[in-house]
Structure 1
Amino acid sequence: MKLCNFASLDPAMQGKGLKGASKADAEIISEFLLNSEQMILASEAAYNETLHTDRTTDISESTAKPFLYDFEKLEEAERVSQIKIRTVQHFFRKAVISSYHNKCSICSLNHTELLIASHIVPWSKKIESRADPANGISLCSLHDKAFDLGFIGIDSHYKILVSSSMQGKKIQTYDDMFLMFDNQQIHMPFRFSPNAEYLNWHHQNVFRK
Structure 2
Amino acid sequence: MIQLGGEKFKFIDVFPKILTVPDSFVVRNNKIQTTKDKTKESHGEAKLYISSKDIMRDFYGHEGFRVTCFMLKQDLINYLNTLKTEYLNPSQAYRGMDSFAVLWEERMNKVKLLQDEIIIFEVSDQTQIKGPRGYVNSSDKGYKLIRELSLPLISYILVKKLSDTGGSQLYYWKLFVDFDAIEQMKSLPTVFTYGKSKMQDQEAENIETQIEEEVKTIKRGRDGQQKYREKLLEQCPFCPFTMVADDRLLIASHIKPWAVADENERTDPYNGYMLTPTYDRLFDQGFITFTEDRHVHISNFLSKRTCKQLGLENDKFIQMLPMDKKRIKYLEFHKQSVFKD
TM-score (norm 2): 0.35
State the match for 1:161 in structure 2. Answer: 297
State the match for 1:43 in structure 2. Answer: none
Structure 1 residue corresponding to 2:267, chosen from 121, 128, 131: 131
Give identity over the alignment, percent: 28
Equivalent residue pairs, number: 132
Contact 1:137 1:194 in 2 (8 A): no
Kindly indicate whether residue 279 of structure 2 is the aligned counterpart of residue 146 of structure 1: no
Give 5+ residue unaligned stretches, structure 1.
1-75
Query: Compared with structure 1, are the counterparts of its residues 132 and 171 closer, same or farther at alpha carbon in structure 2 (3 Å cutoff)?
Result: closer
Q: Deviations over 1:51-80 (max 9, x none)?
A: xxxxxxxxxxxxxxxxxxxxxxxxx72222
Query: Compared with structure 1, are the counterparts of its residues 121 and 172 closer, same or farther at alpha carbon in structure 2 (3 Å cutoff)?
Result: closer
State how far apart, in whole Å, the 2-side matches of 1:171 and 1:129 are.
31
Contact 2:240 2:318 in 1 (8 A): no
Kindly indicate whether residue 253 of structure 2 is the aligned counterpart of residue 114 of structure 1: no
Q: Please report how far the alpha carbon of residue 134 of structure 1 lies from its aligned counterpart in structure 2 after TM superposition.
A: 0.5
State the match for 1:183 in structure 2. Answer: 316
**Higher percent of residues as strand:** 2
State the match for 1:60 in structure 2. Answer: none
TM-score (norm 1): 0.55
State how far apart, in whole Å, the 1-side matches of 2:215 and 2:273 are.
28
Kindly indicate whether residue 218 of structure 2 is the aligned counterpart of residue 82 of structure 1: yes
State how far apart, in whole Å, the 1-side matches of 2:245 and 2:230 are.
14
State how far apart, in whole Å, the 2-side matches of 1:169 and 1:96 are.
33
RMSD: 2.9
Structure 2 residue matching 1:104: 3-state secondary structure:
coil
Give the alignment of 1:16-31 within 5 angstroms.
Answer: none
Structure with bigger gyration radius: 2
Structure 1 residue corresponding to 2:336, chosen from 186, 204, 208: 204
State the match for 2:232 in structure 1. Answer: 96
State how far apart, in whole Å, the 2-side matches of 1:121 and 1:132 are.
10
Give 5+ residue unaligned stretches, structure 2.
1-211
Q: Which amino acid aligns with 1:144?
A: D
State how far apart, in whole Å, the 1-side matches of 2:300 and 2:214 are.
43
Q: Which amino acid aligns with 1:108?
A: M
Contact 1:153 1:161 in 2 (8 A): yes
State how far apart, in whole Å, the 2-side matches of 1:152 and 1:186 are.
16
**Higher percent of residues as helix:** 1
Structure 1 residue ranges, 4+ long, deviating more than 4 angstroms after superposition: 191-194
Contact 2:225 2:267 in 1 (8 A): yes
Q: Please report how far the alpha carbon of residue 192 of structure 1 lies from its aligned counterpart in structure 2 after TM superposition.
A: 7.4
